Structure 1
Amino acid sequence: MSGYDYGVELWRVSGPMGEWKLKLGSGPGAARVAREAAVWSRLGPAGLDRSRFQHGDGGGCTWLVTPWHCGPTLWELCTPVRQCAVKARHEVLTGAVDTCITVAAVHLRGWVHGDLQPHHIIFGPSRARLIDWSRAWSADSDLPPAGRGLVHLASPETLADADKPVTAADESWTLAAMLWWAANGRWPRDYRALGIDPAMFTTAELARVLERRPAPLGRLAWPELEQVLRTVLTAPAASRPTAAELALHLAGIPA
């Protein structure tokens, strides 16, 4: 077994046709796994290959089998940069651009991932892959919205209305915030400037605090990257750069 999270067990399974990820949801985790299976069954964003998954339920549990993707996560890829290793910047920039292109492809198909974070991006031999689709949503599907992901990476609009479905513009903010977090290990919002410890609040409480008192952005030790990400994080939703535009801006940063 590889892990356990909120009623969901994660197993890495090997067989004659390769390696697979088995998710087993019980209790509150059953609905989470069932929703991700529903996303896969609709072929969904980023060309998920519906021929390569199986799912079912029984005995109060829900299970989902999908391909196991090998490779470092975005968080792992950025580890040297968080340790101030300048020589790793080129590889991190390449990974960041690939991540933005992958997210842009999701948005182009009318979907949002709904839970972008550095641990949900895996770099394989050819491209960045998104995993954990339990919050994915499309206005063109019959699936209801599944709420926001990490409150620390939520756009200002999402903080203001937790019931509002996450949009591509919201997710562009989250994409930039996620890259910021991966690059320095700190949330983009400077909680210290507000004089608060985010760990002392529930998710709902923290969202209300940030709505009333917007936190300033922190700083990155990589000024060129900070400038590009800050442009996204400070732009109004109507003029916020898209994931594809962010990819272009990141590609222009000298390593």
Structure 2
Amino acid sequence: MLLPEQITNVLPPIIEATRVANRRGSTLWDVRTDIARYAVKLGYPSPATDEHAGRPWTALAPGREAAVLHHLGTPVPSGRWEKGTWCIQPWHEGPDLQQLWERHRVDGTVPSVTTALECAGALAGLHAKGWAHGDVQPMHFLIGPTRTHLIDLALAQGKPVAAEVDFPHRGCLVHYEAPELSRQVLEDGQASPTQASDIYGLGASLLMAARSRRAVTYPDDAPRPVQRKAIVEGNRRPVNVDGPLGELVEHMLSYKPTDRPTLQQVINSMREML
């Protein structure tokens, strides 16, 4: 698969283009030019399989993410190709949180509070502008040499985006989905992420990255509705991270949104641990 001509016409002369991810409904390319390095996203409809329903909205995800970034004051090139939408973003160096904390999952040590604080700070920057991310997971925190970036904003909610790239939020990766979102998806087929549901997602992300442990018990191969039902029923696992960080994660994973700490409280608690 080659990059569409619409994209190559926008970029400076390309030295190298490598497809680094090919998920259901999207591909991510690492593109190098003599000027800069870019993350290029292509969206296309995700076909139905025996395990998953089709997801036509994935074709619009890069265009919607570009619209969100425009609202946030970071406009990026975007457009349409024959199968959906695309966008071009700066490439961010650094491993994601899941990669960075691999050794803690191996040896069981307590992970870096400083790194957890950087992730919370990246999320706080988005919240301060009136948005909820809607898809918080450890792979979306890139720990760079100078700062931590929160990426993949296609599902973010905060302000209206153009109708031609908009679509309802139909849930996120279930491991990090707050109970209230799972309930909404089961009942209505769509959900309304909030900053409180992002707090749950951050707690679940810290737990997964530190211990490779889902916050809720359900079979790995269960259909999504069965997994969401387990989340709604509150089949929580204990948080097996020792010390104050584990206690904070436990609080962040509170069932009721009103019982969770605010992000500022999370940040304050982490600062006290340093």
TM-score interval for Structure 1 and Structure 2 normalised by the shorter chain: 0.7 to 0.9
Distance of aligned partners of 1:237 and 1:26 in 2 relative to their CA distance in 1, 3 Å threshold: closer
Aligned twin of 1:183: 210
Which is worse superposed, 26-35 or 127-136?
26-35
Distance of aligned partners of 1:208 and 1:235 in 2 relative to their CA distance in 1, 3 Å threshold: closer
Aligned twin of 1:100: 120
Deviations 1:60-107 (A, max 9, x none): 332211001011111112112112264x73xx2111101101111211
Aligned twin of 2:25: 7
Aligned twin of 2:160: 141
* Residues 1:67 and 2:86 aligned together: no
Distance of aligned partners of 1:208 and 1:216 in 2 relative to their CA distance in 1, 3 Å threshold: closer
Aligned twin of 2:16: none
Matched to 1:5, the amino acid is R
Which is worse superposed, 63-72 or 150-159?
150-159
Q: Which runs of 4+ in 1 moved over 6 A?
A: none
Aligned twin of 2:242: 222
Distance across 1 between alignment mates of 2:67 and 2:237: 37
Matches within 5 A, 1:66-145: 66-84=89-107, 86=109, 89=111, 92-138=112-158, 140-142=159-161, 145=168
Contact 1:74 1:122 in 2 (8 A): yes
- Quote how far apart the aligned CAs of 1:109 are: 0.9
Distance across 2 between alignment mates of 1:127 and 1:31: 29
Percent identical pairs in the alignment equals 27
Higher relative contact order (CA 8 A, sep 6+): 1
- Quote how far apart the aligned CAs of 1:235 are: 6.2
Query: What secondary structure is seen at the aligned counterpart in 2 of 1:112?
Result: coil
Matched to 1:244, the amino acid is Q
Aligned twin of 1:26: 44
* Residues 1:57 and 2:57 aligned together: no
Aligned twin of 1:168: 195
Structure 2: state its 5+ residue gaps. Answer: 1-18, 46-55
- Quote how far apart the aligned CAs of 1:206 are: 1.6
Distance of aligned partners of 1:145 and 1:168 in 2 relative to their CA distance in 1, 3 Å threshold: farther
Structure 1: state its 5+ residue gaps. Answer: none
Distance across 2 between alignment mates of 1:8 and 1:164: 21
Matches within 5 A, 1:150-169: 150-162=173-185, 163-169=190-196
Distance across 2 between alignment mates of 1:93 and 1:130: 17
Alignment TM-score, normalising by the size of structure 2:
0.79
Distance across 2 between alignment mates of 1:231 and 1:148: 22
Contact 1:137 1:145 in 2 (8 A): no
Contact 1:154 1:173 in 2 (8 A): yes
Matched to 2:104, the amino acid is V
Aligned twin of 2:269: 249
Alignment TM-score, normalising by the size of structure 1:
0.85
Distance across 1 between alignment mates of 2:211 and 2:171: 23
Contact 1:98 1:247 in 2 (8 A): no
Distance across 2 between alignment mates of 1:145 and 1:97: 31
Distance of aligned partners of 1:238 and 1:221 in 2 relative to their CA distance in 1, 3 Å threshold: closer
Aligned twin of 1:200: 221
Deviations 1:110-141 (A, max 9, x none): 10111111111101122110111111110x33
- Quote how far apart the aligned CAs of 1:234 are: 2.4
Distance across 2 between alignment mates of 1:39 and 1:85: 38
- Quote how far apart the aligned CAs of 1:150 are: 1.5
Aligned twin of 2:68: 39
Aligned twin of 1:209: 230
Matched to 2:88, the amino acid is V
- Quote how far apart the aligned CAs of 1:184 are: 0.3
More helix per residue: 1 or 2?
1
